[in-house]
Chain A
């Protein structure tokens, strides 16, 4: 039974550094699924330093979710520095076009 008491003894989160890409990290969370993973992914994408964020459940029988985060500036993926709040619409960061994103996201319709 997947009661909370059945879960004791296993580590909840494991953090691994991603060796292929700079400033990226893999968080493996045990016994969580898309409910939490999708929320964390969407919030990470909303952070201005977030370059890449995804959640995936590796195999359906493995009850864990992996959150893969890459951040842009000099901060560890674990604890980003506090963002200075930018409230005026004109000062939005368009740095994405200049940074090393693998694909362009700017729509030119």
Chain B
């Protein structure tokens, strides 16, 4: 029985020991374990696979994907970061910039501003196309001039009082519709996601006057096109107590883990510790610093249970981003299959 348990642990758990991590790689390939049928089976995969949305609000999403291999989970993470398209400022035509911020620094900052425009409604710009048409370009205008405030108090040293327009925010960017864009997008639909991002600071006599072209791109090309603030995953923690933990040791144990993981209950007059919610733990491994308790606990992670956390920059809702990532992966696989059919073996 111990051998069977050990095999199960090898197959399904990544074990965090005191000095190292064991069973990291997937080993359940056909033929590796006798008595197990590990060949790819579509029905078995469909039976075991599930996606549970744990928490969702307008900019962040936490969901679980259970029953897939690490390669697929990582592919979704990589695609969310680098291959789901978004719109961002690419070309900046500077008519006048007498501010302290150099042209190229200003252009770099403008490129990083997230633009609230659905990238699915736009096309990629063709290479060599300098002008930009209404189907692949958005135009924004930024015109700010700083002047002295004539009504400021004589001895004031507060810039907010002394100067007018001394801070250039994204709310100063105005959308200039091209062609039929004005008819397609309602007023206020195309704008920077946040209107309080500070772009530059000015003093009286300084002016910024420029025109920006936004195009569609992917994060692989430049990080400004990445639609997620971040997308990451972790494996579901699995904490088992190898021996019963009672009395004061129970309190000590609960302090070794994140709050809510270990629960100490009164059972028949004795305080007994039990694992209440291992999902909350961040695995600081504090328990390994305690000589008595490190033998009592097995820290592990469930190998095929991925807890994804996707934070959108505001361009698209996070659940739409995940769906787009899935579509990108499907597109890649389909293109690969088509090419495979077309290519001859030499």
Contact with A along B115-159 (1 / 0, CB 8 A): 000000000111100000000000000000000000000000000
The smallest C-beta distance from A83 to any residue of chain B, in angstroms, reads 6
Quick check: B34 and A94 within 8 Å, CB to CB? Answer: yes
Report A-chain residues with C-beta under 8 Å of the C-beta of B33. Answer: 92, 107
B346 touches A16 (CB 8 A): yes
A13 at the interface (CB under 8 A from B): yes
Q: What residues on A are CB-neighbors of B329 within 8 Å? A: 35
Give bound CA distance, A13 to B335, whole Å.
10
Q: Cβ of A39 and Cβ of B71 under 8 Å apart?
A: yes
B346 near A15 with CB under 8 A, answer yes
| A60 at interface, CB cutoff 8 A | no
CA distance A41 to B329 in the complex (A): 15
Q: Is the interface of B mostly helix, strand, loop or mixed?
A: loop
For residue A69, CB closer than 8 A to chain B, the reply is: no
Given contacts A15-B343, A15-B345, contact A34 B69 (CB under 8 A): no
What interface size band does chain B fall in? 35 or more
Interface size counted on chain A using CB atoms at 8 A? 50
Does the CB pair B6–A109 fall under 8 Å?
yes
Set of chain A residues within 8 Å of B38, measured between Cβ atoms: 46, 92
Knowing A35-B83, A92-B35, the reply to whether A46 touches B336 (Cβ < 8 A) is no
Within 8 A of A (CB), among B50-96: 69-72, 74-75, 78-79, 83
B residues whose Cβ falls under 8 Å from a Cβ of A: 3, 6-7, 10, 26, 29-41, 43-44, 69-72, 74-75, 78-79, 83, 124-127, 217-218, 220-221, 329, 332-333, 335-336, 339-340, 343-346
